Amino acid sequence: MAASYSNGNGSILLNDTGIEDESVSALFAFHNWYNFYHGYLACVVCVFGVVANIFNIIVLTRKNMQSPTNVLLTGLAVSDGLTMAAYFPFALYFYVMEGKRTIHSARFLLFYAIFSVLVHSVSIWLTVTLALFRYIFIRYPRRGVILCSIHRAKLAIVIVSFAVIVVCLPTCLMYEVTPMTENSDQWVISIKRNGTLDNIIEKTNFWSQAVLIKLVPCFMLTVLSIMLVKTMKDAEKRRKKLLQKSHKTDDDSTRERKTNRTTRMLLAVVILFLLTETPQGVLHILSGTIEGFFDTVYYPLGDLLDILALINNGINFILYCTMSKQFRDTFLVIFFKATRVGGHHLVSTHMSTRESDL
């Protein structure tokens, strides 16, 4: 998530980034306009997103839906849902209610700042893991069943969660709650700068967030997306050749088309993720390398970056419903007690692990 909460007083600082004053003024004019609506919009998106991710978890954990891909999507739904659940009280109190910065609200803000980074980072790396699993599965279909098993998908979630906690440890150590001014009843979170160790932690946090949470995942997802598209095209060519030689049954052809549909849907998830995370990653890097860039560019765009990330966290349910018949049918069975549509059973309870992907 964007660190739009970091600037405690919201004052316009000097422009020493080399960017024209007119551009900076336009950014702050946009910030001041959108800031009024952001809290209300964010609360609506968060409520929808939390409910949608609960639906995702319920559907994806059904017995007929068990597969390595769906295990990873379940983990992604949990981390996305937690991200939005944490953002809701933040947006409600600081934007809608415009609550005072008491010591209790500042402590909550500190918790939110750390927790949101953790769960959002888990979402980022689970998306990378999902793309990697999918590439292995369609590139090496026989070995992929073994290499990308349900057990390994669950293990990947544990490893990603643990690794993110380690990488984000400096984030947990670099902030503290302090009075806004001496003898003030207004409290803010600020970066610790009490010595050399605090400076090292601050620099370590910046580069670990910039490289391991922003640049590397976006680069890997871009490469994996290109490789997935190429592999899908190659697989489609092979399928057509085999069909012409009549070496494949209708069941084989149907299964492979279903695999491609699943891959296309996962590509949509990955591409939407890239569209929201890449700009934030670029701005994050520029904020740490260009003096004054954060205050004059990143900060006024922070709320916009946040709402884009929140929308991305909640949109997967819509993608699943529109692009996956099995997800849609299972959802109807669970929540509307439907068992038949158009004379056909909606869900088969005898599906192989390979066939039970979305």
Q: What is the 3-state secondary structure (H, E, C) of 327-356?
A: HHHHHHHHHHCCCEECCEECCCCCCCCCCC
**Closest Cα partner for 59 from 346, 341, 338, 334?**
334
The string of pLDDT tens digits covering residues 136-165 is 988 888 888 888 999 999 999 999 999 999
The answer to whether residue 296 sits within a structural domain is yes
The answer to whether residue 77 sits within a structural domain is yes
* Structure token pair of residue 223: 């490469």
The answer to whether residue 250 sits within a structural domain is yes
Domains: count for the chain: 1
**Closest Cα partner for 278 from 308, 319, 320, 316?**
308
Q: Output the pLDDT for position 143.
A: 86
Residue 194 scores a pLDDT above 90: no
Q: What is the pTM of this model?
A: 0.84
C-beta atoms surrounding 30 within 10 Å: 14
The answer to whether residue 323 sits within a structural domain is yes
Which structural domain, as residue segments, surrounds residue 56? 33-345
The answer to whether residue 317 sits within a structural domain is yes
Q: Output the pLDDT for position 145.
A: 85
CATH number at 260 reads 1.20.1070.10
Q: Output the pLDDT for position 21.
A: 67
The answer to whether residue 4 sits within a structural domain is no
The string of pLDDT tens digits covering residues 80-110 is 999 999 999 999 999 999 888 888 999 999 9
The answer to whether residue 356 sits within a structural domain is no
The more confidently predicted of residues 254 and 202 is 202
User: Cα separations (Å) of 105 from 35, 40, 68, 170, 189?
Assistant: 19, 19, 40, 22, 10
Q: Output the pLDDT for position 241.
A: 73
